[in-house]
Structure 1
């Protein structure tokens, strides 16, 4: 790559990004969206061709001319505003949701204007923008007064983070956005942002947005530990170690004293808790909880905290019962840890996504049902408190809810001889017939909805995990439980040493604690990753060996299914020939006669000879002939039709060579003047007859039919207006008569 190409790939400097106005852009977009959308429209209606060309396209072109890199972020900020307004103002909720949808569509279309430069595209999506950038000091002071003196007005977010927090799934699943997300996930794009909410921030040397090249990077590159692709593998190994220590802790439990495996498990669990808390602090609770698996991790952390509380109480007081209860509570964590490890490999499949959504709907429905039947629980307890306790009644109701209907009839009279059977029969009918049917319908609709939008949901969860993987907190570069060591050493040092010294100490600890991992990553990226010489040579050797096999072996079904059909290679080789040799299928003269095309013809003024005498062509075509339809690649490699402007046409012609000359061409065709006097009069008469013939031909042109249709439409419109006027007069007369009667 030469110097010019390398300079074209450079990311915008931090100084330039700090001068980008964001605050005026947000309010300008808000005004245009409010002025444009004043009715409730769906996504399909907003993306229809008429709405797109009349509403969306003018706004996109207006803001694309600014070339402001924060325009996508501003669209998503407005989406967040309109979504909040839809919840606060229910009367205009439909309009607000339509405006929020329009903001997402604008963000998608404006993002494509930055797709020509990949580094700029990455900067648009990953740069943390401050919403008050470009605002006046008076505006900033007013915002501080509204939010309070302790509010952080410099809190910045990227466009991808705003898309996640606003549930802009269409935007995230767009091909342009997914290109950036995939490059970030695989580590092809490397960047780091300034940490503002980290537990341990190392902002001394922020890494600019660059395209990673292993040939220029150091062999032990500690930044590769923050690549989401490698982070997912390391997270799986850390979770497997946590699960292993969990099983060994419960297998060797001792209520009287702590065992070695219990101590190891507590260390791993505390390190896991610190990692999850740091992730929630770094990206905010909204983005953290948007990943459903983080809910499971948080649930296990709560179980672990309950276990630690009961275990400390039991050991300090010598209470064996509390210690036993602590292990019982910890055993319940297996219901979370085992499925969590199993779902690591298939965390974003359609089945898991459907199961996760069904669990959420089921919990919500059961919570509503429990609240509704709490009144019946209190009623039964009031009627039968002599024979029943509140706990027994609740357990009886749970049994009836899940199918033991005969219990409702057997125990009904024990509550009350008259009201007992009525209440228990009503509860059994509602729980086993009505509410159970509703629950099944809700879960079926949830599965159908997830199945229809499985791709968007999968890409949305993939974007969340990718953004969580690119974390700027220094603790994320350490593996469990070494992050506890880094926290104990570096956190107190951050208050004492300079940022440069803290950065040096942090890099030394990362390389010392992750030395084997960095060696494995370095060897993989230099020799075994996609595009490296060793892997390419191995693939070429395998293809050479396959091509050397006999035809009978290559056509075996198993070998063909394993390697692939050779016909695909044949088709690929055919299309690699851009200019095939040999005679053409059609003759050039026949092609010119049969295919109408646009052709530029020189004017009379340009046909002057060298001696200054202007010469005319033999014939001048006034109707342009249509060109051959050539396909040229677009900026992103997609084919597009070649657009021929008016400058390319010059003096156009109107003759279509596939048939006879048109009436216009006959009328305007230049004819040589006669030479003789008698021939002049004959020529005039012939010209007059030709003009009459041409005028008769002009009557058959579509222009006259168009005029007739326009005249018919005008008459129809007049009749409709007359009918409306008559109806209006009738309504006025009826209103007048009614008022007189009153």
Structure 2
């Protein structure tokens, strides 16, 4: 196959260029895809540019060429994962080349969402939900993989991507516990730096070298986008439609509650799916979370209104039990979502503080009861009263799903960050003035009283300083106090107001992207678990008491797993009844959603081809027929079974998408031409003005 070359004129400069486009094969590993793409971006991005310049001017011609090439020639499903991983890598690792990191980061994000828009929604859904599988050694590769991968770099890599249903998702592990938590940000960044290093090539790689792409195993494109803060990518219509489908339970990972169930993205069909699989729908999980915190708050008030200091009542014991269930649920959520996704949700910090206060309260309360110390018990209840500062806002966290509140929360988060940074500078000046005034007025004021006086001055009570400045020192007191008042009430407060205003404007200018990012984190946090058996709190703590010791003694025992499934079905039966009653009213909306993801018929255009990956599916008599998202043959079969009218509708939708993409390309070209005409016009105007000035002189 001859080397693929980019056409002249696609680079941001005026000179012609000839750079090889990445030749990404279908079975290339994630490691190889990242390296090939990073090599291309490092060659074509040579000048700093903003996101809008890359999107609308000739600076982004190299990106359009890459998108066209990938849409026509690339059939590797890890392409979107690799682009978003590189987006994060270039955004946070800009040590080698000045100013090019953010530009390359924006370029990767633009290519990722433009690439998705070239395909029907069903194909885009497969790309977004594709998880990076566990790599295998060359000796474990099948004959097909060995024959297909002919790239010299592939021989030095670990095996190409095989099935996402590998040993990582072992049947027993996928039911009983999370099979490997998500990796941390530092580990991902270190892995990306190794992936993009040019020195780590086939010549230096040994058979025992650790694969740096292993840190990304189990992450899909949406999770990587959330980690990389790819807010523009997550705000695209097709991506939001996928997230909405996951949120509402129209796209599910589990459709059965049995020993042989496997995590696999699929469309939900009420006639074939197990009703208890609806317990894993993020919308219902969040609704139950509100109910749980509502009961939590009621117990909190019942204990603190008349606190029993000398004995343990049933209501207080119920509050302790609620604390334990909440702690156990948060630990499970941390293990399922991973530290990266977990810390991206600001409300999880409230959860940590609630748990910390609860632990301190219970410890002090137990000591107070054992020693019959009423004072210590009083301290315990006073500390418990602090829970209201975090528990009440936590109940209202569901408002984050509203566009208005979902926009304000990121604004407050950014303003809080800038405020904490500014307070460091304020503390330095405060300590300087406190030391000076304490030494000058040590005969009249103690250190504690002077600290309170200066604090009041910093918060606007200037008259307090003017009243005591002569008592501090008759010579140095007045001028120093005037300097302090001017410095604190005029300079520092004005600077703080301006900084916070800039923080608010910076976020509110991208209000839609910020809100949709918060929404995406909500969805991903609730849907990334690898565990099938998920007890709602406080049933989770009851199940742990019943089956926890047995699970440790007999791990992966089928009898224990069956008992846990039976306990879940009995305890959650009322919840399932409410969910099914609600879904009977929402059935029509579900049908409308699925109509947008109809499997396309055979398309004559190359740009609508569906990339496929070989899958290893377990052969078991207990496997139920499903509709996997990563099955290319299903598209053709379902397309042939459609009537001619439906085929015409699907073809019309795909042709309309192609026309929109073509119009976007034409708009970009027109914008570039207009900018060039404006530049030429300004040059001519300046030249005419210069000639006129010369003639007059």
- TM-score by structure 2 length? 0.67
- Report if aligned partners of 1:187, 1:212 keep a CA contact under 8 Å in 2: yes
Structure 1 residue 169, shift from structure 2 partner: 0.3
Name the residue aligned to 1:258. 312
- Report if aligned partners of 1:172, 1:459 keep a CA contact under 8 Å in 2: yes
Structure 1 residue 532, shift from structure 2 partner: 8.3
Give me the whole-angstrom Cα distance separating, in 1, the residues matched to 2:240 and 2:661: 29
Name the residue aligned to 1:70. 78
Report matched runs for 1:288-687 at 5 Å.
288-351=342-405, 352-353=408-409, 354-385=411-442, 387-472=444-529, 474=531, 477-495=534-552, 496-498=554-556, 500-531=558-589, 633-635=652-654, 637-638=656-657, 640=659
Name the residue aligned to 1:24. 32
Partner of residue 58 from structure 1, selected from 53, 58, 65: 65
Partner of residue 87 from structure 2, selected from 79, 91, 96: 79
In 2 relative to 1, CA 397–144 (structure 1 residues): closer, same or farther, beyond 3 Å?
Answer: farther
In 2 relative to 1, CA 102–382 (structure 1 residues): closer, same or farther, beyond 3 Å?
Answer: same
Partner of residue 228 from structure 1, selected from 282, 286, 293: 282
In 2 relative to 1, CA 111–320 (structure 1 residues): closer, same or farther, beyond 3 Å?
Answer: same
In 2 relative to 1, CA 32–334 (structure 1 residues): closer, same or farther, beyond 3 Å?
Answer: same
Structure 1 residue 478, shift from structure 2 partner: 1.9
Give me the whole-angstrom Cα distance separating, in 2, the residues matched to 1:203 and 1:438: 61
Aligned-residue CA RMSD (Å): 3.5
- Report if aligned partners of 1:348, 1:461 keep a CA contact under 8 Å in 2: no
1:570-601 CA-partner distances (Å, limit 9, x unpaired): xxxxxxxxxxxxxxxxxxxxxxxxxxxxxxxx
- Report if aligned partners of 1:144, 1:153 keep a CA contact under 8 Å in 2: no
Structure 2: runs of 5+ lacking an equivalent:
1-24, 137-153, 160-203, 592-650, 663-679, 688-697
In 2 relative to 1, CA 532–167 (structure 1 residues): closer, same or farther, beyond 3 Å?
Answer: closer
- Report if aligned partners of 2:84, 2:112 keep a CA contact under 8 Å in 1: yes
Structure 1 residue 348, shift from structure 2 partner: 4.2
Partner of residue 249 from structure 1, selected from 303, 317, 321: 303
Name the residue aligned to 2:625. none
Structure 1 residue 21, shift from structure 2 partner: 1.7
Structure 1 residue 104, shift from structure 2 partner: 0.9
1:274-325 CA-partner distances (Å, limit 9, x unpaired): 2223222322223212122222222222322332333334334433333222
Question: Does residue 1:168 correspond to 2:193, yes or no?
Answer: no
1:682-714 CA-partner distances (Å, limit 9, x unpaired): xxxxxxxxxxxxxxxxxxxxxxxxxxxxxxx9x
Q: Higher mean Cα deviation, 512-521 or 524-533? A: 524-533
Partner of residue 34 from structure 1, selected from 33, 36, 42: 42
Q: Please state whether the residue corresponding to 1:640 is helix, strand or coil.
A: helix
1:68-111 CA-partner distances (Å, limit 9, x unpaired): 1100100111122212212x45xx34211111111111111222
Structure 1 residue 404, shift from structure 2 partner: 1.0
1:104-147 CA-partner distances (Å, limit 9, x unpaired): 1111122234x4261x43332223315867733884867549x9
Report matched runs for 1:4-15 at 5 Å.
none
- Report if aligned partners of 1:381, 1:389 keep a CA contact under 8 Å in 2: yes
Give me the whole-angstrom Cα distance separating, in 2, the residues matched to 1:509 and 1:122: 35
Partner of residue 215 from structure 1, selected from 271, 277, 292: 271
In 2 relative to 1, CA 529–634 (structure 1 residues): closer, same or farther, beyond 3 Å?
Answer: closer
Give me the whole-angstrom Cα distance separating, in 2, the residues matched to 1:475 and 1:258: 37
Give me the whole-angstrom Cα distance separating, in 1, the residues matched to 2:46 and 2:425: 36
- Report if aligned partners of 2:347, 2:397 keep a CA contact under 8 Å in 1: no
In 2 relative to 1, CA 124–639 (structure 1 residues): closer, same or farther, beyond 3 Å?
Answer: closer
Question: Does residue 1:122 correspond to 2:144, yes or no?
Answer: no
- Report if aligned partners of 1:526, 1:532 keep a CA contact under 8 Å in 2: no
Structure 1 residue 331, shift from structure 2 partner: 1.1
Give me the whole-angstrom Cα distance separating, in 2, the residues matched to 1:340 and 1:349: 18
Q: Please state whether the residue corresponding to 2:93 is helix, strand or coil.
A: helix
- Report if aligned partners of 1:108, 1:174 keep a CA contact under 8 Å in 2: yes
In 2 relative to 1, CA 258–84 (structure 1 residues): closer, same or farther, beyond 3 Å?
Answer: same
Q: Please state whether the residue corresponding to 2:579 is helix, strand or coil.
A: helix
Question: Does residue 1:44 correspond to 2:52, yes or no?
Answer: yes
Structure 1 residue 463, shift from structure 2 partner: 0.4
Structure 1 residue 456, shift from structure 2 partner: 0.7
In 2 relative to 1, CA 498–290 (structure 1 residues): closer, same or farther, beyond 3 Å?
Answer: closer
Q: Please state whether the residue corresponding to 1:411 is helix, strand or coil.
A: helix
Report matched runs for 1:274-285 at 5 Å.
274-285=328-339
In 2 relative to 1, CA 97–371 (structure 1 residues): closer, same or farther, beyond 3 Å?
Answer: same
Name the residue aligned to 1:573. none
Give me the whole-angstrom Cα distance separating, in 1, the residues matched to 2:99 and 2:557: 51
Report matched runs for 1:685-700 at 5 Å.
none
- Report if aligned partners of 2:251, 2:268 keep a CA contact under 8 Å in 1: yes
- TM-score by structure 1 length? 0.63
Give me the whole-angstrom Cα distance separating, in 1, the residues matched to 2:340 and 2:556: 33
- Report if aligned partners of 1:202, 1:474 keep a CA contact under 8 Å in 2: no
Name the residue aligned to 2:670. none
Q: Please state whether the residue corresponding to 1:498 is helix, strand or coil.
A: coil
- Report if aligned partners of 1:245, 1:261 keep a CA contact under 8 Å in 2: yes
- Report if aligned partners of 1:304, 1:330 keep a CA contact under 8 Å in 2: yes
Larger relative contact order (Cα-Cα within 8 Å, sequence gap ≥ 6): 2
- Report if aligned partners of 1:125, 1:159 keep a CA contact under 8 Å in 2: yes
In 2 relative to 1, CA 45–398 (structure 1 residues): closer, same or farther, beyond 3 Å?
Answer: same
1:637-674 CA-partner distances (Å, limit 9, x unpaired): 5583999xxxxxxxxxxxxxxxxxxxxxxxxxxxxxxx
1:152-199 CA-partner distances (Å, limit 9, x unpaired): 757432211111111110000011211111111111111159xxxxxx
- Report if aligned partners of 1:22, 1:130 keep a CA contact under 8 Å in 2: no
- Report if aligned partners of 1:222, 1:511 keep a CA contact under 8 Å in 2: yes
- Report if aligned partners of 1:474, 1:506 keep a CA contact under 8 Å in 2: no
Name the residue aligned to 2:648. none
Structure 1 residue 208, shift from structure 2 partner: 2.1
Structure 1: runs of 5+ lacking an equivalent:
1-16, 194-200, 534-631, 644-712, 721-742
- Report if aligned partners of 1:253, 1:259 keep a CA contact under 8 Å in 2: no
In 2 relative to 1, CA 384–638 (structure 1 residues): closer, same or farther, beyond 3 Å?
Answer: same
In 2 relative to 1, CA 375–488 (structure 1 residues): closer, same or farther, beyond 3 Å?
Answer: farther
Give me the whole-angstrom Cα distance separating, in 2, the residues matched to 1:176 and 1:532: 17
Question: Does residue 1:112 correspond to 2:117, yes or no?
Answer: yes
Give me the whole-angstrom Cα distance separating, in 2, the residues matched to 1:386 and 1:505: 76
In 2 relative to 1, CA 301–161 (structure 1 residues): closer, same or farther, beyond 3 Å?
Answer: same
Q: Please state whether the residue corresponding to 1:412 is helix, strand or coil.
A: helix
Name the residue aligned to 1:674. none
- Report if aligned partners of 1:633, 1:639 keep a CA contact under 8 Å in 2: no
